[in-house]
Structure formats: C-alpha cells, structure tokens
Amino acid sequence: MNLSTSPTASSKRLSSYLAAALGVMIAFPTLANSWEGTVGAGAAYAPDYLGSDDYDVQPLPVLNLTYGDDLSINLRDGIAWHAFRQGDWSVSPYIGYTFGRDNKGNISRFDKVDGGATLGLRVSYQQDLWRYSVAGSTAITGDVEGANFTGEAALRLPMSERTLFTLTPSVSYSNEKWTESFFGVSAQDSARSGIAAYTPDGGYWRVGVSATLSYALTQKWTATGFVAATYLTGNASNSPIVDDLGSDWQGLSGISLTYRF
C-alpha cells in the first residue's frame, strides 16, 4: 500500500479510473474470457493529504485485472504492458496516474493541485517468495511536474491454505519539480493563508513499509486488512506544509473485501 498520495485525495477520480478500466473489458467482449482479476471496495484511515497530520476515513476502490501475461491494470500501478519477459525478469512500460491534492483543513486556502497521467517504466525480478522492482515515472498532464522513482521488495508469504501475508519495504525519490508540486508554498498561497512561502531547492526521499493480511472467505471472496507507514525527508520534511502544519510520519490502515473472477 503506497502512501505517495492519500487513497482518496480524489475518490471521484478513482471511480472514474475504475470505470474506464472496466470499460476496456466491455468494449472487447470477445476477449472477456481472457481477463482475470479482482474487484472490490474498502475503507482506509489515512491523512487528508501527503504531509498532513489530520486523518479521516476514506472510501477505497480495489481493482486488479490481468489479460494473460501481457497486460495488467490496477489502481496503484496503472496500465502496464509486460513487453519483455525472460526467466524471472520482466520490463513493463506503463501509464499511471498521480492524484494531486484536494486542499482541505490547514491548506484550504492553497491552490488545488490537479492530478494527471504519468508515463513510466518498471523492471521486476522474482526470486522465490520475494519480488523486487524499480520504477520511474514522469507526469505528462495536470499540475504535477517532474519525475518520481521507486524501489521496493515485496514478500508474499502463504500462512495457510486461506491466509496470505505480505510485507513490502520501499524507498522512493522525487525530484525538485515533483517536490515543489506538492510541498512548495507560492507567494499567492502564502498571502492567502499566512503560511511562509517555500521553494524546495532539491528533491526528497521517502521510505516506508506496508503489510497486508488476506483471508479467503470462499473461493471467490477475500477479506484483507492492511497497515502502512511512510517517513518524509529532506525538502518535503522542511516544507511548512509538513514542518509547521503536518507531520513527516504518515500512517495508513484499512480493510477491503474483494471478488475474484
């Protein structure tokens, strides 16, 4: 579970993304039998925005689709084409989405940061129970600019026939422009809110870990609980949005119910 954005910084956009992905299946009925995956919904207790220390309960759609070994669609990683597979290695260009920021609470007088599409490339390696991946993406639409890079190691540990535990430590780096999109305070924002203006002079690192515990209620239905924590550093942590108004520690917890088809 990634804390790079609040899971519902825009639930409407999440719903639109879900509808668009399902529309792919509807648009190609002759391929329907080749699609597999899970759909569902849940709720998360999460920060209002990245860097906030105010939390609330937010809806969380769940979507994971695959088309053979060639294509995958999910709300976290976007639409990926697995262009190269060799043994345990895969290389996948993808189209993703960064959700921007719906300003509320302490930053309600700031300009809104509209999300947009991203283009990226992910390289993955499977080794026994671990899957390692590195990815880089750049924003191509919306108010977010710059690039973001992430590396993670995901452990999938079956605990019984019905129970699966996952543990995913991760580290990411956002360059200066990406950092400014979320943590900069413009002169206009400062004048409206009274918060000191701030322009990052570089990027920042973010480290985190997430864990999930899934239990198969039936062959089709699965209940999942999850927790995650992320720590913001550098130019993100030094921003008044975090240092004065929020917290460099970000937490997340929640539950979901999914249906496999």
- pLDDT, tens only, 67-87: 988 999 998 889 999 999 999
pLDDT of residue 156: 97
pLDDT of residue 7: 45
pLDDT of residue 16: 53
Model pLDDT for residues 29-52, shown as the tens digit of each residue: 445 558 899 999 999 999 999 999
Q: What is the torsional sign of CA 80, 102, 148, 225? A: negative
- Grade residue 105 by pLDDT with cuts at 50, 70 and 90: confident
pLDDT of residue 5: 47
Q: Which domains does the chain have, with CATH numbers?
A: 11-260 (2.40.160.40)
The conformational region for residue 133 under phi > 0 = left, psi -120 to 50 = alpha, else beta, is: beta
Please tell me whether the overall predicted TM-score, pTM, comes out greater than 0.75 for this model.
yes
Report whether pLDDT(153) > 60.
yes
Higher pLDDT, 112 or 19: 112
pLDDT cut 70: percent of the chain above it = 87
In the 3-class helix/strand/coil scheme, how is the chain assigned residue by residue?
CCCCCCCCCCHHHHHHHHHHHHHHHHHCHHHHHHEEEEEEEEEEEEECCCCCCCEEEEEEEEEEEEECCCEEEECCCEEEECCEEECCEEEEEEEEEECCECCCHHHCCCCCECCEEEEEEEEEEEECCEEEEEEEEEECCCCCCCEEEEEEEEEEEECCCCEEEEEEEEEEEECHHHHHHHHCECHHHHHHHCCCCECCCCCEEEEEEEEEEEEECCCCEEEEEEEEEEEECHHHHCCHHHHCCCCCEEEEEEEEEEEEC
Single out the residue of 232, 223, 242 nearest to residue 41, CA to CA.
223
